Amino acid sequence: MAFLDDLKKEAETQKQQEMLQTQSKLVAVSQNFLHVQKQYKIIHHYLLELVNQLNVLSLDLQRAYYIEGFGMIDNFRPRDYALSIDSIRIGQKDFANTLILRFKNVTDKTITVERNVPTQIDNLKEYLWQNNLKYQCTEYKNERGVVSRAIFNITSEIPVAIRFSADFENAKIFLQMKNFGGLTVNEYIYDADEVNTELLDEMAKYLIDKPSKFRDLGRHQLTMRESTRQARQAKDVQYANGVAKTEDEEEEKSGGFFDRLKSILS
């Protein structure tokens, strides 16, 4: 029984350690969650003020977008800034989950695209849907009842979304910019402590085409940029070595003049 008692004590000790680890993790997660909420309040206050100011100022900013099937349009102008909050309820209290700054880039040009191949029609619909572009489509069927031609009248505005979300457990804040500076999605990652007034100031400057170091801020961005640089250097070295190696291998395959002469004479 002494051995079984020892096993029982060991199991109880392990349970206590696991319980302490779980409690410690819950405390850390709770602290990180509350810390992100604190940073969210800073973001919310800043964006609310930014929205108010931009709607009053109506800055004459121009944006250029390439629309598939139509081409480049360079006279889009931003307007109708708005801020929305998506909340989550924990217990009896609401907490911010995401914050989204939205606005429209609008042009006075009529955007019409025609497609005459069924696959191209479907591809354009998918393209417009992915980029949140509204449109009206007039379809024409051939004698077999199959849509063979379509005319797309695309709404002359592009919705832009600047979205803040978070990994509450690890105190990370994500920033996603959709359709800003093109029909693209750009994503940034920050430690919660990095999201401060300085960062938000640089982001605001970036949004209104002022000189800004926004893209250079954030530990994760710097790490990613450095990794990309090192990977590019390694690829360049690999390419250089590969070219040299290929040339050496070709020389080995050919055997050189004397080796080829030897093979002929033997």
Write down the pLDDT at residue 257.
45
Closest to 154 (Cα-Cα) out of 140, 133, 178, 182? 133
Q: What letter would DSSP give residue 189? A: E
Summarised one tens digit per residue, pLDDT across range 139-197 is 999 999 999 999 999 999 999 999 999 999 999 999 999 999 899 999 999 999 999 99
What are the structural domain ranges in the chain? 21-109+156-232
Write down the pLDDT at residue 117.
93
Summarised one tens digit per residue, pLDDT across range 123-152 is 999 999 999 999 999 999 999 999 999 999
Closest to 110 (Cα-Cα) out of 71, 78, 140? 71
* φ, ψ (nearest 5 deg) of residue 91: 65, -120
Write down the pLDDT at residue 265.
40
* Residues 148-163: b if buried by 16+ CB within 10 A, e if exposed: bebebebebbbbbbbb
Weakly modelled stretches of the chain, pLDDT under 70:
1, 3-4, 6-8, 20-24, 240-266
